[in-house]
């Protein structure tokens, strides 16, 4: 199918279906590192930076418009259309505006008036409130290029960031029709804004611009906004200066080209029509959470949520690839290579990576080889395997060297955060040898054994297979409870099984650990498809309904997390429970599509959406469930 036809079908499906009223849903295309939340005012309202762990509100009303007329004035929208690639809005007296990204981190807003308008003037206000703590800004306006450049620094958004603040440059091309320009710095009026004149302040910075009717009736007037933070702060001015004659048409055309390239192998084939809006939304949100290379992240990164978690997480990226593999090979491979390239000297691949720092201490569940092999099986890219193989070998060694304090051959989580299960009752009594962690690692070793011959390293395959077999035997000896007929975590200090029943107990069945004949089916029949434990109307809560620790809406203590629920459906499929597999999928899809937007997790008692809206792995899991 032609690129234009593919992207057209995608765009048509999303027409009138998108919202940009939450930070997690901010308008953010072209893999940009900032986005816009739209509410009721004309212009570029809330402008959020997505950088180094948490979002930062740069301005609640970055560029807004006021339409002046003899009978009064207005700054409010009368109508707004949210399209995937642009936002179009109308105000009083024939004012209209279009907003679209021209390039990554360069946004255009084009304003115009209809000839019939009775407006006398249009006022635009650029507003940058003071930061906390206050940091100095230096603003310069070049009358020749009409470029306003504001150089400053942005405070860090996470206390673990070793740098207290980061360079930030904002460049705005002001269209010629707005020929009256005034400014206030920290509430004090600045008498002159001219070429080369500097405004320096650590307080609020406001620019007041005025255009008469004639200037806006003659044709659209386009503001070009470029923002660079951290390693790109000193490059954005040059990028913006190269832009000439930008308008809404060129910005939308550039966005269409970006989308067509991003969708690449996209198709609705196999997706039921009643699920296609959510399916397209899932892709759109994954793309909106994807960022261009920056700093130490030399490949595309994917945030779990641009409005909540602004960094590249290990296990999130692996699960997100369940969706990305369906439409873009390059992005899916980039997400894994970006993790491997930030590997630390001792072999650890960090819990998450930011532009300039990694989360100290912890890693996350080792799933990279699983995700990488999935990509290789579909696309056959040996060079990609070559990029990740050695880092994955070092990562496995790191787990065995750094996370086996009792030297029993079973690997332990540092804490709940390293497991990804955060506050799970699995960790209520201290450090554990995680049944899921060991199952993941065992599969990583077996997949390295598959990769090695592809790369001409056959002798290494034998060693990986041998280690995996010995490790699997140790898992069964130490983590299986013959009395209950199920796996559990093992408490490290007490050296005893920790009998909290969770989906983690069944991860060895997903990773296909070699077990005694019939054991897997016995476990599934006794627990996983039993409504008393897991197979309810909202199946596979992260703590069994029957467990004394079960709390249906408390984070990792009982809700349904879509990534874990999907793994449980895969267990049913792998072990021949076809009827229950399809029923589980139906129940999960019904729960997820009961609301307009997908969510991070769901109440296992009511199905109420919880956590971040449009979280990446939920989008990917939905695509996997809907498309198969």
Helix, strand, or coil (residue 334): helix
For 118-176, the pLDDT digits (tens) are: 999 999 999 999 999 999 999 999 999 999 999 999 999 999 999 999 999 999 999 99
Residue 144 and residue 34 share a domain: yes
Query: How many Å apart are CA 573 and CA 233, to the nearest integer?
Result: 50
Which pTM value belongs to this model? 0.98
573 domain-assigned: yes
Residue 490 and residue 525 share a domain: no
Residue 595 and residue 456 share a domain: no
Cβ pair 120, 52 in contact under 8 A = no
Domain of residue 47 covers: 20-260
32 domain-assigned: yes
Residue 215 and residue 105 share a domain: yes
**pLDDT for the residue 209:** 97
99 domain-assigned: yes
Residue 571 and residue 442 share a domain: no
Residue 423 and residue 554 share a domain: no
The percent of residues in the chain predicted with pLDDT above 90, rounded, is 97
404 domain-assigned: no
For 587-608, the pLDDT digits (tens) are: 999 999 999 999 999 999 999 9
Residue 561 and residue 445 share a domain: no
Residue 600 and residue 479 share a domain: no
Of 212, 237, 260, the residue that ends a domain is: 260
Residues of the chain with pLDDT under 70: 1-3
89 domain-assigned: yes
**pLDDT for the residue 194:** 78
Query: Which CATH number does the domain housing residue 62 bear?
Result: 2.70.98.10
**pLDDT for the residue 2:** 64
For residue 372, give both structure tokens: 């990488």
Domain count, the chain: 3
Residue 447 and residue 593 share a domain: no
Residue 202 and residue 139 share a domain: yes
Residue 220 and residue 112 share a domain: yes
Query: How many Å apart are CA 444 and CA 344, to the nearest integer?
Result: 19
Cβ pair 376, 385 in contact under 8 A = yes
Residue 530 and residue 462 share a domain: no
For 74-82, the CB contacts below 8 A with 24+ separation are 75/41, 75/42, 76/40, 76/41, 76/42, 77/40, 77/41, 77/42, 80/38, 81/16, 82/16, 82/18, 82/19, 82/20, 82/27, 82/38
């Amino acid at each position: 199918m032609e690129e234009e036809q593919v992207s057209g079908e995608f765009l048509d499906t999303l027409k009138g279906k998108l919202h940009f009223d939450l930070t997690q849903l901010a308008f953010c295309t072209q893999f940009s590192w900032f986005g816009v939340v739209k509410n009721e005012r004309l212009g570029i309202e809330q402008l959020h930076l997505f950088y180094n762990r948490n979002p930062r509100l740069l301005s609640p009303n970055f560029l807004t418009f006021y339409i002046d007329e003899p009978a009064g004035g207005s700054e409010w929208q009368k109508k707004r259309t949210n399209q995937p690639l642009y936002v179009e809005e109308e105000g009083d007296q024939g004012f209209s505006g279009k907003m679209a990204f021209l390039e990554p981190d360069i946004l255009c807003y084009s304003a115009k008036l209809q000839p019939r308008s009775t407006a006398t003037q249009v006022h635009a206000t650029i507003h940058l409130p003071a930061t906390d703590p206050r940091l100095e800004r230096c603003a310069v306006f070049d009358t020749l290029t009409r470029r306003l450049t504001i150089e400053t620094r942005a405070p860090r958004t996470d206390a673990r960031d070793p740098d207290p603040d980061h360079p930030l440059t904002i460049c705005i091309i002001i269209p010629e029709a707005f020929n009256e320009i005034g400014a206030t710095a920290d509430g004090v009026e600045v008498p002159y804004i001219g070429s080369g004149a500097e405004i320096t302040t650590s307080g609020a910075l406001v620019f007041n611009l005025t255009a008469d009717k004639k200037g806006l009736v003659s044709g659209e007037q386009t503001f070009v906004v470029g923002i660079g933070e951290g390693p790109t702060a000193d490059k954005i001015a040059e990028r913006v200066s190269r832009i000439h004659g930008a308008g809404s048409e060129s910005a939308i055309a550039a966005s269409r080209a970006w989308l067509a390239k991003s969708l690449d192998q996209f198709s609705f084939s196999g997706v039921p029509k009643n699920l296609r809006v959510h399916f397209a939304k899932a892709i759109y949100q994954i793309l909106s959470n994807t960022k261009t290379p920056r700093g130490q992240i030399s490949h595309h990164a994917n945030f779990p949520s641009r409005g909540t978690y602004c960094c590249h997480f290990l296990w999130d990226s692996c699960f997100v690839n369940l969706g990305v593999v369906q439409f873009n090979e390059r992005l899916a491979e980039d997400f894994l290579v970006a993790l491997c390239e930030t590997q630390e000297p001792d072999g650890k691949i960090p819990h998450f990576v930011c532009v300039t720092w990694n989360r100290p201490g912890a890693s996350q569940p080792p799933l990279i080889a699983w995700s990488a092999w999935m990509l290789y099986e579909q696309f056959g890219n040996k060079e990609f395997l070559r990029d990740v193989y050695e880092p994955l070998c070092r990562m496995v060694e790191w787990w065995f060297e750094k996370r086996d304090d009792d030297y029993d051959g079973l690997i332990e989580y540092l804490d709940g955060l390293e497991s990804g299960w955060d506050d799970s009752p699995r960790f209520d009594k201290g450090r554990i040898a995680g049944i899921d962690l060991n199952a993941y690692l065992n599969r990583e070793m077996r997949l390295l054994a598959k990769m090695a011959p592809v790369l001409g390293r056959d002798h290494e395959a034998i060693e990986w297979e041998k280690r995996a077999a010995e490790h699997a035997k140790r898992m069964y000896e130490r983590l299986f409870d013959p009395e209950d007929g199920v796996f559990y975590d093992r408490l490290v200090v007490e050296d005893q099984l920790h009998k909290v029943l969770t989906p983690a107990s069944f991860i060895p069945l997903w990773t296909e650990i070699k077990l005694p004949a019939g054991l897997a089916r016995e476990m599934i029949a006794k627990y996983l498809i039993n409504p008393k434990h897991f197979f309810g109307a909202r199946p596979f809560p992260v703590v069994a309904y029957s467990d004394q620790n079960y709390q249906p809406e408390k984070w990792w203590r009982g809700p349904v997390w879509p990534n874990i629920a999907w793994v449980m459906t895969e267990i049913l499929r792998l072990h021949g429970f076809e009827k229950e597999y399809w029923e589980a999928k139906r129940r999960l899809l019904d729960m997820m599509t009961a609301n307009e937007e997908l969510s991070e997790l769901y109440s296992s008692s009511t199905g109420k959406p919880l956590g971040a809206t449009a979280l990446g792995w939920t989008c990917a899991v939905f695509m996997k469930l809907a498309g198969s």
